[in-house]
A and B are shown apart, each in its own frame.
Chain A
Amino acid sequence: MMMRICLLAEGAYPYVTGGVSSWIQSLMTQMPEHEFIIFSISAKDYQGAVRYPAPANLLEVRDIQLGTFLTDKIIPGKRYNISEEEKEAFLSIISGGKETNWPLLFDLIVSDRIDSILNFLASKDFFDIVQTLCRERFIHVPFTDMFWAIRSMVLPLFLCIHQKMPEADLYHSVSTGYAGVLGALGKHQYNKPFLLTEHGIYTREREEEIIKASWIKGYFKDIWIDYFYNLSNCAYEYADEVTSLFERSREIQVEIGCKREKTSVIPNGIDVNRFKPENRSRKLGIHIGAVVRVVPIKDIKTMLQSFALVQEALPSAQFYMIGPYDEDEDYYTECLELVESLNLKNILFTGEANVMDYLSFLDVLVLSSISEGQPLVILEGLAMGIPYVTTDVGSCSELIMGPSDAFGQAGSVVPVMHFHRLAKEIIALARDENLRLVYGENGRKRVQELYTLPLMVNRYESRYERWGQAVWQESVFN
């Protein structure tokens, strides 16, 4: 049965390369029998620069570029005849406590009554709502800051909801947050199934960001964090099924409010046929690489420090940083400065590159991220039979150590930011070719058995069919 699937993603496909985008691309190419619409939410206005070729079954990429709305003309001081219940529903997304009446809120924002979100945020009704909130709940919070905080919080959410939702047979959000709420909206508006896949734990990621953010002051951090939990709960509440990439992430979903019976695990998969370890050719010396974007979350600096230690032990070692470095120019500059001060000699920042060229000769792969979901780069490295040294984040240890299968170790796992341990493990692998071969073989087998593209695609496809059927039956029998 052909279905039209609406994929909802934040700030990714088709403009940003990375795990989620590749995942979306392979899902579409592997399910030619289904049609896809992509609803892509981003803050910036991406001019052109599409990074993925559109498959034939991709009907439409609908962009919501939030920044572009901000230049619209605003008419302040309007009245929208907001009912008590609607006001209540709005209040509850900020103040928590009571369950949010999402259906009412969706209907309000989608309706013709709200002519523009910016006008609404400049309306008397909006002010009244903030005033009520501060009178009843946030009595001691600085009012002006609260007013602006709430404007900032709901602006992207309401802008997203205010867009017309494309009609589809199934809505599939690739994260909670705004994309999750939009999935819920799709289900609400068209009464179609809603599937939620979390690659990481969105709420936790936001929480970490907010705690670090210098522009949010003290008490407001809690309000912001609660707000994002609330958005996630909306998605969990509405979703028919919630999948995660690995067990640990599923546990967190349950912990933060998703019903256990909705959850399941669908690991990522890669096209193993593309990876041919037999084509690998050893190069002279020892070659250590990392397939990463040069951004802070990958903790490149820790990696560089460990490389310095490796260089001390193995002066001939060569290092490769494979991936784009133009995303965070400042961070890249800092990294180059660190290279300088650590006196790292044989290191190459390749920029965007064909990874396969490097996988053909690298001896050891490294990942030092602070946070990860289930990195495709690990799967790819393992598929090429290259051992990995990674930090213990996301599903890295599941992939490397394989606690629930019999394939054995495929590398080593070290604590986050621990560059001594990282270096020690790299050195151990670099010095022992035999160990590398054993680990590489273990990893290759694990990926071939458990993390292949057909497996992943089948699992999603079965979900699509199951929920498509359920709705179909429901509509037939009603």
Chain B
Amino acid sequence: MAGIGFQLKPLYEQSHFLSQLRAYGYSAITAVGPMFLTILLVIACREWLLYLEAPTNEINVFMAAVQYAFIFSQVLIGGFLFVISRYVADQTFMEKEENVLSSMYGTIGITVFVGFIAAVLFYWSSPLPFLFKLLTYLFFTELSIIWVLSMYVSALKDYKKIVKSYLFGTILAAFLIWMLTTVFNQLTAIAVFIGLTIGFLVIIVMLMRNIFQYFQLNNKQYFHFLTYIEKYPALFAIGLFYYLGLYGHNMAVWIGDRGIVVAETFMMAHYYDTPVFYAYLSILPALILFMVTVETTFYTVYKKYYGRILNGFPLQDIESAKQEMYRVLRLEILFLAQVQLLVTILFLFVGVRFLPSLGLTQDQIDIFMVVVLGSWFLSLMITIFLILLYFNEKKSAFLLTGVYALLSIILTSLFMNFFNQYGGGMFIAALISLIFGSRLLVSRLNDLDYTTFCYQPIVQKTTTTKTEWLLKKIGSLD
């Protein structure tokens, strides 16, 4: 029009944010399965060693090393988790699947590298035997790789094969441990780690084989996914704080009065850690339930709402879909809260009844009860956190995980130092974060129209990120 007509296009016509946002949910949950499998396996190992009357120091050093490998592998990959899930969703959508496999190698490469340096520094002045250090390092690395793989495996949607891989690896590990401890009578932590390391290696190999069948091309742009850290720094922070939130308060206790140092290497606090891990098992049902309800009822109305926005529906139809979505969301959260309350009560009963026979003291059972109750809030908070991600509220999700991570550490320290009370800090932190998260969610949902529309860029700009520039410079990107 005399050269002065603008054709602004709704950008999300080309976009696909539903599948992107959905991927966040997957990534938060897919790590859960292997996580609980690992917890159960470790508990089983401990009970087995106790049953065989292995020396206490061997059991202690085993537990300490396992716990460290477990916690720090998660904190290590936490930041990458949401970033790669977004990256993989984007690349799959753009049909650039050759980027997917390379990003997997890239992530594994970086985590293994960083993990190696961390392990060297950590073990530098430790008096533990080299073989033990090597095995635990391998176990730690394997766990890191498994967390990364579980993200990629979720794209396969072939759950049978995935479960088979885990089952086979676990059984192999169990068998090897049984062989070494009974047949060869090696009642040492090293023996157990040999079994675990080989078993988990098999899991990795089997998972990778599945992934290779699905993603076959690798264009060797290993570090292209790093551009996403620059593009979405909040995602990296979200993942990091998510895991810091889960374990930060444990670390706070380690440096407190109840903290002990195992084998001059591992700072820990059995007094607190053991009941917390048992209590955390109660979150599992909520997360699985979330996955199921979100994928059925909520996702349907959610898709309808965005579908109406994208497919040219008039305002009133969009509004009614939005109201329906809110209604379902309210119901789902309420339902989740109720079910999780039942789970919590069940855990309290079972815990009080059986935990003493697992060697927990009365004090520890008190901690367990408080943390189980706190986990009820925590699981609801995680639900809200995931819903925020579904609505692409990265900043809010970051705030929420950040607030919980900081509060749980600070309050745990305060409760420990001033009231000699353990678990209360986590409980209060989870409660405050839940309230904060609910308010955040309500306010974000009230602004949903604005965020959906106003935040769409007026003109699409393609900018080169600094990371891209750097990668090109060092020749790792075409």
Could you tell me which A residues sit within 8 Å of B by CB distance? 10-11, 41-44, 66, 70-71, 74, 76-77, 118, 121-124, 126-127, 131, 134-135, 138-145, 147-148, 151-152, 155-156, 175, 177-178, 205-206, 209-210, 213, 215
Q: How many residues of B contact A (CB 8 A)?
A: 29
Of B131-139, B163-171, B403-411, B445-453, the one touching chain A: B445-453
Name the B residues within 8 Å of A140 (CB-CB): 314
Structural contact, A11 and B314, CB atoms closer than 8 A: no
| Contact between A177 and B312, CB atoms less than 8 A apart | no
Contact A135 B453, beta carbon cutoff 8 Å:
no
Let me know if B314 and A141 touch, CB within 8 A. yes
| Nearest 7 Cβ contacts at the A-B interface | A142-B312, A134-B315, A11-B3, A152-B8, A143-B315, A70-B459, A76-B454
Q: Which residues from B are CB-within-8-Å of A152?
A: 5-8
Q: Do A144 and B458 touch across chains, with their CB atoms under 8 A apart?
A: no
Q: Which residues of B contact A123 (CB under 8 A)?
A: 454
Partner of B454, one of A122, A138, A141, A175: A122
Please list 14 pairs of residues, one from A and one from B, whose beta carbons are closer than 8 Å in the complex, sorted by A's number. Answer: A10-B2, A10-B4, A43-B5, A71-B459, A76-B455, A124-B450, A126-B454, A131-B449, A135-B316, A139-B314, A142-B313, A152-B6, A156-B5, A215-B7
User: Shortest distance in angstroms between B317's beta carbon and chain A's nearest beta carbon?
Assistant: 8
What residues on B are CB-neighbors of A11 within 8 Å?
A: 2-4
CB of B235 to closest CB in A, whole Å: 19
Most buried by A among B4, B6, B7: B4
Q: A143-B309, A143-B314, A206-B1 are in contact. Are A127 and B454 (CB under 8 A)?
A: yes
Complex: A71 Cα to B7 Cα, angstroms? 15
Residues of chain A lying within 8 A (CB to CB) of residue B458: 70, 74, 118, 121-122, 151, 155
CB-CB under 8 A for A77 and B1, given A142-B312, A142-B314: no
B10 pairs with A145, CB closer than 8 A? yes
- With A134-B314, A142-B314, A144-B309 already in contact, the answer to whether A178 and B4 are too (CB < 8 A) is yes
Given A139-B316, A142-B313, A127 contacting B8 (CB threshold 8 A): no
Q: A118-B458, A142-B313, A178-B4 are in contact. List 8 more A-B contacts (CB 8 A).
A: A77-B455, A143-B309, A143-B313, A145-B312, A152-B6, A152-B7, A156-B4, A177-B2
A210 to B458, CA, bound (A): 21
CA distance A209 to B316 in the complex (A): 32
Q: Which of B310, B312, B454 contacts A124 (CB 8 A)?
A: B454
Shortest C-beta distance, A419 to chain B (Å), equals 27
Would you list which residues of chain B between 225 and 260 have a CB under 8 Å from chain A? Answer: none
The closest CB in chain B to the CB of A146 belongs to B315
Q: Which residues of A contact B3 (CB under 8 A)?
A: 10-11, 42-44
B461 on the interface (CB 8 Å rule)? yes
Task: List chain B residues, Cβ under 8 A from A71.
Answer: 459, 461
Q: A140: nearest residue on chain B (CB-CB)?
A: B314
Report Cα–Cα, A215/B312, bound state, in Å: 15
Cα of A283 to Cα of B458 in the assembled complex, Å: 58
Contact with A along B304-325 (1 / 0, CB 8 A): 0000011011111010000000
Most chain B CB within 10 A, of A42, A131, A143, A178, is at A143
Return chain A residues, CB-CB under 8 Å to B7. 152, 215
Choose among B9, B315, B450, B461 the residue that contacts A148 (Cβ–Cβ < 8 A). Answer: B9
Q: How far is the CA of A145 from the CA of B7 in the complex (A)?
A: 12
Q: Which residues does chain A contribute within 8 Å of B310, judged by CB atoms?
A: 144
On chain A, the residues within 8 Å of B1 by CB distance are 206, 209-210
Expressed in whole angstroms, the Cα–Cα distance for A126 and B453 within the complex equals 10
**Shortest CB distance A67–B (Å):** 9
Residue of B2, B309, B313 ringed by the most chain A CB atoms within 10 A = B2
With a CB–CB cut-off of 8 A, which chain A residues contact B315?
131, 134-135, 139, 143
Query: Chain A contacts of B447 at CB under 8 A?
Result: 77
Residue-wise interface mask of B (258-273) relative to A, using a CB-CB cutoff of 8 A (1 in contact, 0 not): 0000000000000000
Bound-state CA distance A175–B3 (Å) is 14
Q: How far is the CA of A77 from the CA of B452 in the complex (A)?
A: 10
Contacts of A215 in B (CB 8 A): 7
